[in-house]
Amino acid sequence: MLRKYLDKIKPNFEPGGKLQAFRSVFDGFETFLYTPRSTSASGVHVHDSIDSKRVMIIVVLALMPCLFFGMYNTAYQNFTACGITDYTFWQAMAYGFLAILPRIVVTYAVGLGIEFIVAQWRGEEIQEGFLVTGILVPLICPITTPLWMLAVATAFSVIFVKEVFGGTGFNIFNVALVTRAFLFFAYPASMSGDKAFIASEPICGLGGYVPDGFSGATPLGMIANGSTEFLSQAGSTWQAFLGLIPGSFGETSTLCILIGAALLLLTGIASWRIMLSVFIGGLVMGWIANTFPSDLYPASTMSPIDQLVYGGFAFAAVFMATDPVTAARTGIGKYIYGFLVGVIAILIRVYNNGYPEGAMLAVLLMNALAPLIDYCVVQANINRRMRRARSMD
């Protein structure tokens, strides 16, 4: 029935139809609903059933545990700050849902809107890349980020980081992370400090106004300011692993991130090489810092395990560093790339008190260096071939 309806309205979107300006939008929806009938015209006659839609959707699915946990945690932080104790699980989820929904809607509307326009303009099919970016952006931003800032930052990075380079598959930097970095550098007051990470207002009668004097600083924020007492509290690592701590919406719970990681690795969508080596890099750098603790750099007193469970490190390792477009593409390159992401993330976190968290900058820096790593690996292949040719002479 739906198919018949689509076939009926399709002529409107073909060249010459009255809605031809929306052809790419129609195509996008049509191919989303029905697998295209196009069959192979050259080369192999059968194709693997995997396509980029499935790849992207699996990443979105892998993000769901983080999304749901973020909803609960947002409510939990607000309710705790306001001293509300008698709430049900569903009330908390409702609060979190209402808090995040406008952010998701705004990011998708802005990002997909630009994608649709560009696809129409270029006469191409809609690409699925933004399906993932659109959910990543709300998850890595503080819940208090104003909607207009989200809109501006998303538009900036979709246009200047992705589309000007040619669209999905051609970007040098991770689009979601540039959105976050744009917000971080353009609106630092809204993006850090002890007010940013806790929803401060009631929504639809749920939750309350957070009292003025309440400090909702993230653990890493507190450490950067020199207060490390809570690290020695019993169960603090466990608390951080579960994720009931202030932080960006979806990246507090290492447990949920690991559930997502398990899905990505079981389906083979994300590179285990990168994921593993980011964690190893983080552990190594965390261990080095911890072996030479310094009062100048309070974060150096954290244990290597704590380094992995606090802040955005785990999220960056699982969802950001593994972005296939911006990561290293060669097998060996992936190990090097991942390891350096891990090392640099902890390096920035520990030895630069101005930035309580280094994961975002580490991934962006390595995005820039990934082509260099690949260049060296490719050059090794080329040199092997040249040596072989010379030895024949």
Residue closer to another protein, measured from CB, 162 or 180: 162
Q: Are 180 and 141 in contact (CB under 8 A)?
A: yes
Minimum distance, C-beta of residue 286 to another protein, in the bound complex (Å): 28
Q: How far is the C-alpha of 367 from the C-alpha of 338, rounded, in Å?
A: 10
Output the smallest distance, CB 253 to another protein, in A.
Answer: 24
Q: How far is the CB of 166 from another protein (least distance, A)?
A: 7
Closest distance to another protein from the beta carbon of 66 (Å): 19
Nearest to 60 by CA among 147, 128, 162: 128
Residue 278 contacts residue 317 (beta carbons within 8 Å): yes
Least distance from another protein to the Cβ atom of residue 219, Å: 34
Long-range contacts, 163-172 (Cβ 8 Å, 24+): 163/114, 163/118, 167/118, 167/122, 167/124, 167/127, 167/129, 168/127, 168/128, 168/129, 168/130, 168/325, 169/127, 169/129, 169/325, 170/325, 171/325, 171/326, 172/326, 172/367, 172/368, 172/371
Min. distance of Cβ 380 from another protein in angstroms?
Answer: 10
Closer CB to another protein, 258 or 378, in the complex:
378
- Residue 115, judged by CB atoms within 10 A of its CB (0-12, 13-18, 19+), counts as buried
Shortest Cβ distance from residue 340 to another protein (Å)? 17
The amino acid at 317: A
| 112 closest CA partner among 136, 93, 99, 128 | 128
Instruction: Report the residue number, 3 or 215, with the smaller CB distance to another protein.
Output: 3
Q: Which two tokens stand for residue 274?
A: 């990168």
Q: Which two tokens stand for residue 54?
A: 């499935």
Nearer to another protein, 328 or 360 (CB): 328
Identify which of residues 102 and 331 has a Cβ nearer to another protein in the complex.
331
Q: Which of 293, 366, 356 is nearest to 335 (CA)?
A: 366
CB of 167 to another protein, least distance (A): 7
The nearer residue to another protein, 317 or 325, going by C-beta atoms, is: 325
Interface residues with another protein (CB under 8 A)?
Answer: 2-3, 31-55, 57-58, 125, 127, 129, 166-170, 266-269, 271, 324-325, 327-331, 334, 378, 381-382, 384-386, 388-389, 392
What SS3 state is found at 270?
coil
Specify the residue, 35 or 227, whose C-beta has the smaller distance to another protein. 35
In the block, residue with structure tokens 């007193």: 301
Q: Which one, 186 or 372, has the nearer CB to another protein?
A: 372
